[in-house]
Amino acid sequence: MPVVLEALLTAFWVEGRPTHELNTLREVLVSVLGESTTDDILLKSGSNGAKDLLFANTKAALAEGAFGLPWFVARNNQGNSQSFWGFDHLAQVMDHLGLEVTDSIRALEHGWRSML
């Protein structure tokens, strides 16, 4: 997942690419996931199940106190949940989840912060 986020955010914020357009989104996803996985994701993303999940997740985020995007609710292996708002907190999300936060990820975090 971090590789996908890095690719999407780099394409949008650094390269200025229109990641909301399907062709660009597909190009970025293919670069990190390959064609088969990307095509599967894009096919499923337009389904009623995906739309229902988006609606349910939005409702849950509002119930958790979300006040902006992106909003993350992360539950770690110990069962502790914590909410995070903004791209500039991605390293904190990873810390909370017990994931390795590399220097390159921290460098990207500071880059995102400077663009917000």
pLDDT of 46-73, one tens digit each? 999 999 999 999 999 899 899 988 888 8
Tokens 């939005």 found at: 58
Answer positive or negative: Cα dihedral of 50, 19, 69, 82: positive
Q: How far apart (Å, rounded) are the C-alpha atoms in residues 90 and 92?
A: 5
More confident residue, 112 or 32: 32
Q: Given this model, what pLDDT does residue 31 score? A: 97
109 pLDDT above the threshold of 90:
no
pTM of the model: 0.60
Q: How far apart (Å, rounded) are the C-alpha atoms in residues 17 and 9?
A: 10
More confident residue, 39 or 73: 39
Domain ranges of the chain: 1-45, 61-116
